[in-house]
Structure 1
Amino acid sequence: MNHSPNDLIMLFNDLFREAYRTELVKGTDEPEYVPASGPNRPAQVVFAHGYYASALHEISHWCIAGEHRRTLHDYGYWYCPEGRTPQQQQAFEQVEVKPQAIEWLFSLASGFRFHISVDNLSGGGAANEERFRRNVRAQVSEFLERGLPTRAQAFFDALATFYGTGEILRERWHDDARRIAPLYSESGHLQEN
């Protein structure tokens, strides 16, 4: 299956450019969110280096940002680059659960392989990678049971339609869940919190 970021740009912009005055844009460096700067200047969700996975991740952040947050550069969130202290990494992992869960669902809907990210390669790595993986998995399960936020659901549905994955989503979810964050019954050994 071909995964072109241009398809994501088309789908996102078709859904959200007019209704939310927001467009998805390929960036050359770090991802960022740039709020609208005037009546003819829409907000921009900028993803890194034209990477498909980066686009899915940045769209995930946008889909859960509230109306006020969408008026602020990078949604007004603190961001500390790689090389975080254990405390900074723990805070990062707490705020990344929902965006990574949504990104995982977007990946499933598009038939794209999802990789969980602790985004701290030059630091000490994850604060607790197993717990983070289980928390993201639990959030995906909750979204599947209760539904996604409105914009995330619209994009998820558009991806599933575009890539024709609707019939196999549940099966792929179970396979992916075992690969990314196996539970005791799936892995054969106990994982502690």
Structure 2
Amino acid sequence: MDLNEDECCQYLIDAFAGIFPGLKITGGAEEPFYVAPKENTGAIIYFRSNYPRSLLHEISHYCLAGDRRRSIDDFGFWYSPCGRTVEEQSRFEIAEARPQGLEKAMCEIVGLKFSPSLDDFSGRPPSEDFLKNLEVAYREMMTSPPPTAGKVLCGLKKYGDANGRLMLV
């Protein structure tokens, strides 16, 4: 299947609707954001533009957040924009290794190319620790994922073709 980014995102949104029927997923946002469920509304994930990788990354955070964090807007996370100090970038890498490990596993299932994201345009390469921790998290997701992550990985495989792959692009 050779889909453009809009079609790819819609395909993924449809797949996740079957996995998380109460979760609304919307693209086109300037910045990703999670809106926790309120009294009469369900949770909403906004992902960046029409980028399939942004969608998968935000779903990764949702899967790993746990019930308490899913009850807080943006999962209660902090965000420092590009231009971080070395210390801020280090904290970012520590917080991002596990979600990116799950994102890498989802990319593999759906046939999207994965590359680590530092969300930093300084030109600094990813640290060796970050790359190592990302790989450890990826192996965890492939062998013994937490329950919600496992549900997503299994659901994506079922939504795919006979080989369990969506092969979006």
What TM-score range do you get, normalising by the shorter chain? 0.7 to 0.9
Q: Which residue of 2 is the match for residue 107 of structure 1?
A: 107
SS of 2:49 mapped into structure 1: helix
CA displacement at 1:165 relative to structure 2: 7.4
Gaps of 5+ in 1: 169-193
Letter in 2 for 1:33: Y
User: Alpha-carbon deviations, 1:4-40, whole Å to 9, x = none?
Assistant: 10011111122212xxx3221113310010111222x
Does the Cα contact within 8 Å between 1:35 and 1:42 map onto a contact in 2?
A: yes
Q: How many residues align?
A: 161
Q: Distance in 2 between matches of 1:113 and 1:100?
A: 13
2:141 and 2:149 in contact (8 A); partners too = no
Report the counterpart of residue 141 of structure 2 in structure 1. 143
Query: What's the CA shift string for 1:52-105, capped at 9, x where partnerless?
Result: 010000000000111111111110111101110000000000010110000000
Amino acid at match of 1:83: G
TM-score normalised by the chain length of structure 2 = 0.87
Q: SS where residue 66 of structure 1 aligns?
A: helix
Counterpart amino acid of 1:49?
A: S
Taking structure 1 as the reference length, the TM-score comes to 0.76
Matched, 1:28 2:29: yes
Unaligned runs of 5+ in 2: none
Give the alignment's Cα RMSD to 1 decimal: 1.9
Write 1 or 2 for the structure with the bigger share of helix: 1
Q: What is the match of residue 179 of structure 1?
A: none
Alpha-carbon distance between aligned partners in 2 of 1:77 and 1:31, rounded to the nearest angstrom: 12
Give the whole-Å Cα distance in 2 for the aligned partners of 1:2 and 1:51.
Answer: 15
> How is 1:1-193 mapped onto 2 (pairs within 5 angstroms)?
1-3=1-3, 4-17=8-21, 21-39=22-40, 41-121=41-121, 123=122, 125-126=124-125, 128-145=126-143, 147-164=144-161, 166=163
Given that residues 158 and 164 in structure 2 are in contact (C-alpha distance below 8 angstroms), is that contact kept between their aligned partners in structure 1? no
Matched position secondary structure for 2:34: strand
Give deviations 1:137-188, integer Å, cap 9, x for gaps. 122122323x1122211211222233337578xxxxxxxxxxxxxxxxxxxx
Identical counterparts, % of pairs: 32
Higher relative CO (CA 8 A, sep ≥ 6), structure 1 or 2?
A: 2
- 8 Å contact from structure 2 (residues 98, 133) kept in 1: no
- Whichever of the two has the greater Rg, that structure is 1
